[in-house]
Structure 1
Amino acid sequence: MDTILVTGYAKAPQGTSMYEVYKHFGIVLEIDRKTYEIVDVELTLVTSLAQSYFKRLIIGYDLNEGIDPLMKKINENYYAPSVNSVNVALRTAYQRFKEQVQTSY
């Protein structure tokens, strides 16, 4: 395979529909092994619009740039109580990716 999958999870904020439906926010990133570009993403957001919006924000991002520019992009464009959960899960997935890259290659 030319891609890898990494996941990250965080507790959803209480009082939100995300918490009522999932209890946690989860993100799955499909990453190109050679370029480290995010080629697909799946998220546990409640609405299809939010899922589609995040896909457009995240797909194509080059993880060689680090995670902070992507998190900044999200924070500048996503205004919801769950933004902290998104950030924690994304950072967790990125750390998992970095650990695997360092040990595998």
Structure 2
Amino acid sequence: MNRVNQSEILITGYAKLPEETTAYKLYDVVGIALRINKENAEIIDADITLATSVAKQFFRDAVIGKNLNKIDEIINIFERQYLGTAKKSIITALKICQLRYKNYLKNIESKDE
């Protein structure tokens, strides 16, 4: 039984972590996965490779329900409220996810032509 909704896609993004972070000792890079409604760019679910459950939950709370096309709104949350050393890496990985989503849409459009 396929439990994945046909209107959803999974997008990942990665960025190098600062060496002074605990997450760097574990993963070297921050990886994020976003489950997206491909029709409206809503983030349905999310995960991140940070070291603590509190940081992971903050990330989820900051992105779930947001629109990937409005990346500046998401980035502003991290700019204002995330004071961890992985901030720049998280923002970079989010931007990579948005770029992959835009490329996905371009590929879909080119197939329709």
Which bin holds the TM-score, normalised by the shorter protein?
Answer: over 0.9
Quote the offset at 1:84 in angstroms. Answer: 0.6
Q: Deviations over 1:36-73 (max 9, x none)?
A: 100000100111111111111100001233x1221111
Quote the offset at 1:87 in angstroms. Answer: 0.8
**SS at structure 1 position matched to 2:14:** strand
TM-score by length of 2: 0.87
Consecutive unaligned residues in structure 2, runs of 5 or more: 1-5
User: Matches of 2:41 and 2:25 in 1, distance apart?
Assistant: 34
**SS at structure 1 position matched to 2:32:** strand
What corresponds to 1:2 in structure 2?
7
Consecutive unaligned residues in structure 1, runs of 5 or more: none
Quote the offset at 1:101 in angstroms. Answer: 1.1
Q: Does 1:78 align with 2:82?
A: yes
Q: Does 1:90 align with 2:94?
A: yes
Which structure's CA Rg is the greater one? Answer: 2
| 8 Å contact kept, 2:43–2:63 | yes
- Which structure has the higher relative contact order (CA within 8 Å, separation 6+)? 1
> Paired residues, what number?
104
What corresponds to 2:107 in structure 1?
103
What corresponds to 1:59 in structure 2?
64
